[in-house]
Chain A
Amino acid sequence: MTAPPSILPLVLDGLVFAVAGRPLIKSITCRLERGPRTVILGPNGAGKSLLLRLCHGLLTPTAGTVSWAGAAAGGRDAISRAQAMVFQRPVMLRRSVAANIAYPLALRGLGRRDRRHRIAEALEVSGLKRFSDSWARVLSVGEQQKLALARAWALAPQILFLDEPTASLDPAATAKVEEIILAIDARGTKIVMTTHDLHQARRLGDEVVFLHRGRLVERAPADQFFASPQTEEAAAFLAGRLSTKRLKRGSP
């Protein structure tokens, strides 16, 4: 398999997303490079999920741009194919486990032999081999989320967005899901995930992007962020303090 050139880095420039005139993402500018696993942290309603959806192209920005600096001109298809996303609530098709992995591969025009190979690999990595012929929707939520990860593995994307992938899972399933995420990372896929589980962020994050009320408030390597957050908002979040009062901060 010869890898096509990477579409990364991902460049967000003045990204704004508003619903009914109310801005939910407020002018975010940043650049995500290949390599480090990026964890997006922030309290509920900070805009983490929205930001992922904007990056992945599921939402259209109200203002500003999402661009892929490495992508060749005119390669919209190539850009879409280089990405994958795993949602908080796993979305399963009414088919078997294997067919759920096969579906997006077929959409991307992979031949039968390639598909079979990748499905076998993905089932192996996710530990779902024995469920191969089961109906996906009768699996437990934990197994379904592993399947969603297996599907992402099979797609071999250059970048994988994960929206709180373990929010509704028990510790065992969480551990397995994290293991698969690391396996996907080890294959060279850029990981961008949201979470509000600080332990998970410490385990998985190389760098942290901290959002607060729709703004990118702080960005730092993970150790540094957890050891000495530079902003009041991040410090409050890490300390588990509810910042009910509007915190003072410099104008954007």
Chain B
Amino acid sequence: MHDLSEALGTAAWLILSLDRDLIEIVSLSLRVSLTAVAVAALIGLPIAGALALSRFFGRTVVLSGLNALMGLPPVVVGLFLYLMFSRSGPLGALGLLFTPTAMIAAQVLLIVPIIAALGRQVIEDLWADLGEQLRSFGARRRQAIGTLLWEGRLALLTVVLAGFGRASAEVGAVMIVGGNIDHVTRVMTTAIALETSKGNLSLAMGLGLVLMTLSLIVNGGAFVLQNAARRRSGG
């Protein structure tokens, strides 16, 4: 118990004094996860729209496959990208292994299925609502998808945040492809894992507190924003 309170105290101090290592790790984490979410949204949302509006043979199989991919084990994604990016791998020439770019790629792979699968449901519900009217207007499929993405922006924000939650919280993939190199690829989750195993609990807890606070702020803020917007626009 004594250890815990001492660690908490040091953690608070690290945060309040804006410890340089801590800031560096936090900002790299944010950079990696935010970029990953942005890229994954650009890929995942159009897939969501296309899947929502199309009917083809084997669609159910594709949808269940996509849903299954939401649960991709991060370490497996890490391993897969490690093999792709390693010197002898097919993408070895790019020299991306142990770089933040590789970590972004790993997180993108992890969250594209989440955004595509959850977004598909949102857009399909909207299509049930607006579809006839949009078709009556003569909207082409591509135009309709764009409109639905905009109409569903509030609900889709939650979907994208679910992706951000997954990206910022996972350890396995970024540990493998990033390597947790100090000052280069060390992010909050990998640093917490490392510092804990080294017995340096105060830094680990400081980072843990920051990680928790950030995700609470992001999700809480989005909830407030959504509620306000929903009330104003009539849902």
Answer whether residue A135 sits at the interface, using C-beta atoms and an 8 A cutoff.
Answer: yes
Classify the interface of chain B: helix, strand, loop or mixed: helix
Q: How many residues of B contact A (CB 8 A)?
A: 16
- Residue-wise, chain B 43-78 has the 8 Å CB interface mask toward A (1 for contact) of 000000000000000000000000000000000000
A134 CA to B193 CA, complexed, in Å: 52
Which of A58, A81, A93, A139 interacts with B135 by CB under 8 Å? A58
A56 CA to B133 CA, complexed, in Å: 11
A58 CA to B143 CA, complexed, in Å: 17
Answer whether residue B216 sits at the interface, using C-beta atoms and an 8 A cutoff.
Answer: no
Say yes or no: B130 contacts A84, CB within 8 Å.
no
Answer whether residue A44 sits at the interface, using C-beta atoms and an 8 A cutoff.
Answer: no
Say yes or no: A104 contacts B235, CB within 8 Å.
no
Note all chain B residues with C-beta closer than 8 A to A93. 130, 147, 151
Say yes or no: B136 contacts A58, CB within 8 Å.
yes
Which of A57, A104, A137 interacts with B137 by CB under 8 Å? A104
Given A80-B138, A107-B143, verify A94-B133 contact (CB < 8 Å).
no
A85 CA to B133 CA, complexed, in Å: 8
Q: Chain B nearest CB: distance from A230 CB in Å?
A: 34
Note all chain B residues with C-beta closer than 8 A to A91. 129-130, 132-133
Given A107-B143, A138-B233, verify A77-B138 contact (CB < 8 Å).
yes
Note all chain B residues with C-beta closer than 8 A to A139. 234
- Chain B residue with minimal CB distance to A56? B136
- Chain A residue with minimal CB distance to B135? A58
Say yes or no: B137 contacts A107, CB within 8 Å.
yes
Which of A's residues lie within 8 Å of B, judged by CB? 53, 56-58, 77, 80-81, 83-85, 87, 91, 93-94, 103-104, 107-108, 135-139
Which of B's residues lie within 8 Å of A, judged by CB? 129-130, 132-133, 135-139, 143, 147, 151, 232-235
**Which 6 pairs between the two chains have the least Cβ-Cβ distance?**
A137-B234, A138-B234, A91-B133, A104-B137, A80-B138, A85-B136
Given contacts A91-B130, A94-B235, A137-B233, 14 further A-B contacts (CB under 8 A): A56-B136, A83-B136, A85-B136, A91-B129, A91-B133, A93-B130, A94-B233, A103-B137, A104-B138, A107-B137, A107-B138, A108-B138, A137-B235, A138-B233
